[in-house]
Amino acid sequence: MIKLLSHVAERSVEWLMVIALALIVVLVFSNVVARYGFGSGFAGAEELSLLLFLWLVFLGSILALRQHAHLGMELLQALLPRSLRRVCAVVTHLLILYVLWLFFAGSWTQTKIGLHTYSTVLHLPNAVKAASGLFCAGSMLLIVGLNLVRILINSPDARVAGDPIPGVDEHKSAEPANATKGARP
């Protein structure tokens, strides 16, 4: 059930990103054509495209975290035994959760402030901008928290830095280290 919900949420985020990117392209392109072709453009196009881009970046960050696509340095952790990798993972997950909580609390404060301030052209509440950070931090808190629980209960679904990635690390070449490729006799 959780995997199904996770899959549906992931696909929904992907589609929201596609829609946001398409709208940005249409808004910016049509505004450029209107300005150069007709001498005036849609005043809110820039503001709306900026808002969509902000949401696009935060949605992409959530998706990257969910798919483990963020850049990470796992070289040292890969050299550690599994038990020490788990300890490192627990410590780093706790630190990440703390930072995400700070991000969430700050975004919540900005969202509350933004309810009473409005954008210049479209007069949208600035809370719409701050809510992107709130949504991002909340989603990431859930993703990291769930993985921390998986690590603590030693679930096979847990993602621990330095562990072999299924489907990637198992296909490594069995070729000896001193063999040279393409060498002629």
Contact 103, 137 (CB under 8 A): yes
| Encoded tokens for 117 | 């301030």
Q: Which of 52, 60, 18, 26 is nearest to 128 (CA)?
A: 52
Give the whole-angstrom CA distance, residue 125 versus residue 107.
14
pLDDT of residue 18: 95
Helices 45-66 and 2-38 sit at what angle, rounded to 10 degrees? Answer: 150
Across the chain, which has 185 residues, the per-10-residue mean pLDDT values are 84 93 94 88 89 95 89 80 90 96 97 94 93 96 95 89 67 47 48
Give the whole-angstrom CA distance, residue 103 versus residue 65.
15
Backbone angles phi, psi at 80, to 5 degrees: -80, 155
pTM as predicted: 0.81
Residue at token pair 């599994």: 82
| Encoded tokens for 135 | 């949504």
